[in-house]
Every structure is written in structure tokens, then in C-alpha cells.
């Protein structure tokens, strides 16, 4: 009974603000604190806000490209780590995972300084690279968890029965790790879509992403349009995370 109460409270703690946010996105009033009846008005405003749509396109872009990069780099890295023997492995593992515990602000400043140092003008490309940098460990961790659980005998059996290394990978290994890869990719996509801090530092002209745009909109008053936008974001992020979990459960 007690436990239930506590879990109920923590759920409320987590979700009540979000529910309030979603409810007020249907508010007919311009004021976010006064309820004046149900309306889809702000969703209409949202649909015709060009600056916001451009920012949304940027965000999708960055998420898609950075996710592709981290999957292409992260999956081989995870498999390679698993196969690596000896002392190098531990330290390499730590180095790969370090960015996970590094404060994001430090990561943002470091990336910014790096880009300035090599004289790479800030743009969407730098945002993509920044996102790839913090998402790489995420993919490595998730894919490795799966790779570690693979039964090495399966691959050995395949090789025994005459399959080449490539065939073994395509027929045996890949199908087994694929759910983890998809799950990791979706999670990386979501994290990239929602990221503010690193983006804030490395965004240049023409690369305002959705979170950056929302942040600057708040400055000029919290309009229910932001509520509407946030509701859309929350729902889509939840959907993506749900998909990611579903893949991992397989």
C-alpha cells in the first residue's frame, strides 16, 4: 500500500508538470495562467510559424545525420571492444564512456573552442558533429550490452559449418544485435532532438534548432504556442523512446 502511494507520488512528480503543460496548450487565452476554454488555436499558430518550422527542420536534420554517424561509428566500436583482449580494453572502454559523465556544459565549451581553434565556421555541420560526439557513448553502451550477451558458440558453429566471416556477420551476428542497434539509434535520435546545451555552444548562422528557438521564444513571453509545441515534442519523444524500448526487449 505504502509502496504504491510512493510510486504514485513520484509518477505525479514526474508527469504533473507535463500534464499541466499539455492541458494549457488547449487554452483559448493568450495568458498561460488563466483558463478560457478549449481551443486548437495555438496548434494552428504553430503550423504557420515559419521560423519555428525551419528550426524543426534543422532539428530533424541534425538528429538524422548525427544518428547515422554514431551508428556507423558506434556499432563497429562496440563489437571491436568486445573482441579486444588484454589491458588496452579497460582503458579504451573508460575513454569511450567518459563523455557520458562529463558535464554537458564542459563538452559544449570544449567543442566550441575546438571548432574555433581549427577555424571551422560554426554551422549545422558543427552541430551535427557535436551531437555525434555526445551520442557515441550512448550507442556504444547499448550495443555492447547486447554483444556481451551473445553466445560465442553461435558464431563458432557458423564458422564450423563453413560460413565465411562476412556470412557469419550477416546471417548470425547482425540479426542478433540489430534490435539493440535500432533501439540505440532511436534513443540517440531523441537525445539529439532534445539537446540544448551543446547545441547552444556550437550552433552558427542558420542553424537554430527547435530547443534553441523555444528558449529564445520564452524571453518574449510564454505564449501557449510554446505549450503546443512542447506537447508535440513530448509526445514524439515519448513515442521514439517507447519504440526504442520495444526494440531492446526483443
Q: Using the rule CB under 8 A, which residue among 116, 154, 170, 235 binds other proteins?
A: 116
Using CA atoms, how far apart are residues 142 and 190, in angstroms rounded to an integer? 15
Task: Kindly state whether residue 171 participates in binding other proteins, applying the rule CB under 8 A.
Answer: no
By CB under 8 A, is residue 215 in contact with other proteins? Answer: yes
Task: Print the SS3 string covering the chain.
Answer: CHHHHHHHHHHHHHHHHHHHHHHHCCECCCCCCCCCCECCHHHHHHHCCHHHHHHHHHHHHHHHHHHHHHHHHHHHHHHHHHHCCCHHHHHHHHHHHHHHHCCHHHHHHHHHHHHHHCCCCCCHHHHHHHHHHHHHHHHHHHHHHHHHHCCHHHHHHHHHCCCCHHHHHHHHHHHHHHHHHHHHHHHHHHHHHHCCHHHHHHCCCCCCCHHHHHHHHHHCCCCHHHHHHHHHHHHHHHHHHHHHHHHHHC
Residue closer to other proteins (CB basis): 81 or 184: 184
Query: What is the smallest separation between the CB atom of 88 and other proteins, expressed in angstroms?
Result: 34
37 counts as binding other proteins under rule CB under 8 A: no
Our finding on whether 60 is near other proteins (CB under 8 A) is yes
Window contacting other proteins (CB under 8 A); options: 145-153, 162-170, 190-198, 211-219: 211-219
178 binds other proteins (CB under 8 A): yes
Looking at beta carbons only, is 88 or 206 nearer to other proteins?
Answer: 206
Under the binding rule (CB under 8 A), the answer on residue 245 touching other proteins is no
Distance CA 19, CA 86 (A): 51
Min CB(59)–other proteins separation in Å: 12
First to last CA, the chain: 32
- Binding to other proteins by residue 247, rule CB under 8 A? yes
Residue 244 binding other proteins, by CB under 8 A: no
Angle between helices 104-117 and 124-149 (to 10 degrees): 130
Residue from the set 59, 115, 195, 210 that interacts with other proteins by CB under 8 A:
115
Interface pick for other proteins out of 21, 22, 28, 64 (rule CB under 8 A): 64
Q: Considering beta carbons, is residue 50 or 160 the nearer one to other proteins?
A: 50
Nearer to other proteins, 90 or 171 (CB): 171
One residue of 18, 51, 100, 105 binding other proteins per CB under 8 A: 51
The residues of the shown chain that bind other proteins, judged by CB under 8 A, are 30-34, 50-51, 60-61, 64-65, 68, 112, 115-116, 121-123, 178-179, 182, 201, 203-208, 212-213, 215-222, 243, 247, 250
Amino acid at each position: 500500500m505504502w509502496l504504491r502511494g510512493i510510486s504514485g507520488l513520484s509518477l505525479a512528480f514526474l508527469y504533473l508538470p507535463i500534464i499541466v503543460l499539455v492541458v494549457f496548450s488547449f487554452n483559448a487565452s493568450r495568458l498561460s495562467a488563466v483558463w478560457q476554454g478549449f481551443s486548437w488555436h495555438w496548434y494552428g499558430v504553430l503550423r504557420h510559424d515559419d521560423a519555428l518550422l525551419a528550426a524543426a527542420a534543422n532539428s530533424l536534420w541534425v538528429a538524422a545525420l548525427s544518428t547515422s554517424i554514431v551508428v556507423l561509428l558506434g556499432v563497429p566500436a562496440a563489437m571491436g571492444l568486445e573482441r579486444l583482449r588484454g589491458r588496452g580494453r579497460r582503458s579504451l572502454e573508460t575513454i569511450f564512456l567518459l563523455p557520458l559523465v562529463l558535464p554537458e556544459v564542459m563538452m559544449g565549451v570544449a567543442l566550441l573552442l575546438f571548432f574555433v581553434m581549427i577555424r571551422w565556421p560554426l554551422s549545422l555541420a558543427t552541430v551535427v558533429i557535436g551531437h555525434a560526439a555526445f551520442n557515441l557513448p550512448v550507442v556504444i553502451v547499448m550495443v555492447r550490452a547486447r554483444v556481451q550477451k551473445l553466445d560465442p558458440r553461435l558464431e563458432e558453429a557458423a564458422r564450423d559449418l563453413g560460413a565465411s566471416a562476412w556470412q557469419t556477420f550477416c546471417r548470425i551476428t547482425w540479426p542478433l544485435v540489430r534490435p539493440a542497434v535500432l533501439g540505440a539509434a532511436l534513443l540517440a535520435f531523441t537525445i539529439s532532438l532534445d539537446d540544448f546545451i551543446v547545441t547552444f555552444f556550437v550552433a552558427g548562422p542558420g542553424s537554430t534548432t527547435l530547443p534553441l528557438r523555444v528558449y529564445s521564444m520564452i524571453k518574449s513571453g510564454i505564449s501557449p504556442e510554446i505549450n503546443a509545441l512542447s506537447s508535440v515534442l513530448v509526445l514524439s519523444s515519448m513515442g521514439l523512446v517507447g519504440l526504442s524500448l520495444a526494440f531492446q526487449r526483443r
